[in-house]
Amino acid sequence: MRRALFVLLVPLAGCATQALPDPRVAAKAYADAAARGDADAIYGMMTDASRQARSKEDIRKIVADERAELQEQATALSGKDVRVEATARLRFEDGEEAALELRDGRYWVSASGALPGGARTPEEALDQLRRVIARRSYAGLMRVLSPATRAMIESDLRAIVTGLDRPETLQVQVNGDTATVIVPGGHHVRLKREGGLWRVDNFD
């Protein structure tokens, strides 16, 4: 309630042929309700999640206690320089989400689980990290890392690829069912034999 936040949720199916709701209508409706101090109207505009967090009585108390601030919000929202931005969040059955922005009457993807965008909060960045790791997505992981960390990891991986270009020339130290290889460039690869097959156990 201490700042105006408008989230427009609309069905995406048929958006190409149907007129989209104008978010400025919602902004004006909120401004009018704030100017009147109409707690019931403000509560009616809230999302289901917001209503679960605060009851109608909570909203009435906040509105009664902050009439002056709501009047200021109403005045600010009615100004000529106000820009209203509309976003939508689409949740898929598997729990993934896609964030979209409304521009020029169309929704555009701003971020999704498969294509992480720049997180606006640390919590969003952590959520993106969790999602790409859960999908075992190397490309997604690279996109959520900082440029410096991404460059460091890619440089290390390139060095390993170059060092393993001719594996038959490398000196392999075998000790029973384990083996260690020093890759040119300083990296170490540890291998382990299980069921007669050698597999990479670890590398650094």
Which tens digit of pLDDT belongs to each residue from 127-186? 778 877 877 778 778 878 888 888 888 888 888 888 888 888 888 999 999 999 988 888
Q: Is the pTM of this model over 0.85?
A: no
Residues 79, 179 within the same domain: no
Residues 1, 99 share a domain: yes
Q: Helices marked H in 88-137 — which ranges? A: 122-134
Stated length of the chain? 204
Backbone torsions φ then ψ of 57, nearest 5 degrees = -65, -35
129 part of a folded domain: no
Query: What domain range includes position 178?
Result: 167-203
Q: Which of 112, 127, 148 is the last residue of a domain?
A: 112
Residue 142 resides in a domain: no
pLDDT of residue 48: 86
Question: Nearest to residue 141, comparing CAs of 115, 173, 111, 107?
Answer: 115
- Does a structural domain hold residue 15? yes
Per the CB < 8 A criterion, the answer to whether 160 and 187 are in contact is yes
Residues 102 and 182 both lie in one domain: no
What is the domain count for the chain?
2
C-beta separation of 29 from 68 below 8 A: no
